[in-house]
Amino acid sequence: MKYVIAIDGGGTKTNTICADENGTIIGTGLSGPTNLTSTSVGAASFNLRETIRQATETLPPDTTYDQLVMGLAGMDSEEERQLAENMFADTFSQFSVVNSTLVNDAIIALENGTEKPNAVIIISGTGSNCYGKNSDGVTTRTGGMDFLLTDQGSGYAIGRQVLREAIKSHDGRRSKSILEELVSQHFGIENLDQLKHKVYNPLLSKVEVGKLAKICTAAYEQNDQAAHEIIHKAVADLFLMLKTVIEKLELEEKEFDCIFSGSVVNLPVIKDPLVEELTRTFPSVNIVFPENSPVNGALEIALAKLRE
């Protein structure tokens, strides 16, 4: 019997599946982030080992794994792919992996969402990314270059703006916002004069900033003006990412699938207006909300490689 390992390495968590050659799941694993831009090399390597250990713990220690496919968030160039392979080589060797393939996480998420030749995917969780393909074999993307360069419409972008709008409300640069109170509660401080210490000592991580998106949705539901502005901007940014990819692939007049993936893009306050704008602009689009986790896309790729 041959075995494969499938991994979805994100900026917040890492999901792993171990399966046999028939696709029967042997075990699963869950650990912290393995995205090398949001965590240290040491932490990423530890998290990778832990999630693989969990997924394979029911098999004998001398088991070999013929294929490992890992979708990795934040890996956007050949140089970064080679860097990640070098960083994780010892871990793969430790678990007797024969063949390993590392791809951007958008590829496994797209594989998980559709089998159609014309398809695009929008990913928005801690970070954001948009990727697509057409029946001519052309692929393209927008975003995906991490938080200093891109990540518009992501949990991080929303969370950062929550902090800024809360401070603007606090010092009088905008109308009063409930974000002041919600941010203070989140950090356990009496008022926002104490926020600087919480943010900079130590510096908030990308993941920690991304978690502030839930504050924005809470304020949005209370009809807070600042929260509405932040959410509307996030929707507009995600739509622009999608529209650009769709036009690059010349899918405007064709039928195509659009997959929504990630915790933020599936929030009703984001999802509903984004779906409305997409279907209005591109009437032939088919919106897909995958039932399975993106790691299943990595599993499909691994099994296909096993059959080659």
Q: 285 phi and psi, to 5 degrees? A: -75, 145
Averaged pLDDT for residues 2-15: 95
How far apart are the C-alpha atoms of 128 and 264, rounded to whole Å? Answer: 9
Angle between helices 41-56 and 78-94 (to 10 degrees): 50
Does 197 fall in a domain?
A: no
pLDDT of residue 160: 99
Give the tens place of pLDDT for each residue, 157-195: 999 999 999 999 999 999 999 999 999 999 999 999 999
Contacts of 273 (CB under 8 A, 6+ apart): 232, 235
pLDDT of residue 38: 74
pLDDT of residue 144: 87
CATH number at residue 50: 3.30.420.40
Neighbours of 145 (CB within 10 A): 16
Of the pLDDT bands very low, low, confident and very high (cuts 50, 70, 90), residue 240 is very high
Closest residue by Cα to residue 179 from 140, 233, 118, 222:
222
Q: Which residue has the tokens 């080589």?
A: 89
pLDDT of residue 295: 98
Give the tens place of pLDDT for each residue, 47-103: 999 999 999 999 999 999 999 999 998 888 889 999 999 999 999 999 999 999 999
Q: What percentage of the chain has pLDDT greater than the value 90?
A: 92
Give the tens place of pLDDT for each residue, 98-153: 999 999 999 999 999 999 999 999 999 989 999 999 999 999 999 988 899 999 99
Give the tens place of pLDDT for each residue, 212-231: 999 999 999 999 999 999 99
Alpha helices in the chain (DSSP H): 41-56, 78-94, 105-113, 155-171, 179-187, 195-200, 206-210, 213-221, 225-248, 268-281, 295-307
DSSP 193: G
Averaged pLDDT for residues 244-271: 98
Q: Which domain holds residue 32?
A: 3-108+294-307
pLDDT of residue 77: 85
Q: How many structural domains comprise the chain?
A: 1
Does 185 fall in a domain?
A: no
Neighbours of 199 (CB within 10 A): 14
pLDDT of residue 104: 93
How far apart are the C-alpha atoms of 266 and 125, rounded to whole Å? Answer: 9
pLDDT of residue 75: 86
Backbone conformation region of residue 119, classed left if phi is above 0, alpha if psi is from -120 to 50, else beta: beta
The bridge status of strand 25-31 relative to strand 14-20 is antiparallel
Does 21 fall in a domain?
A: yes
Does 10 fall in a domain?
A: yes
How far apart are the C-alpha atoms of 200 and 207, rounded to whole Å? Answer: 15
How far apart are the C-alpha atoms of 7 and 168, rounded to whole Å? Answer: 41
Does 83 fall in a domain?
A: yes
Does 153 fall in a domain?
A: no
Does 39 fall in a domain?
A: yes
Q: What percentage of the chain has pLDDT greater than the value 70?
A: 100
Does 127 fall in a domain?
A: no
Res. 37: pLDDT tops 80 = no
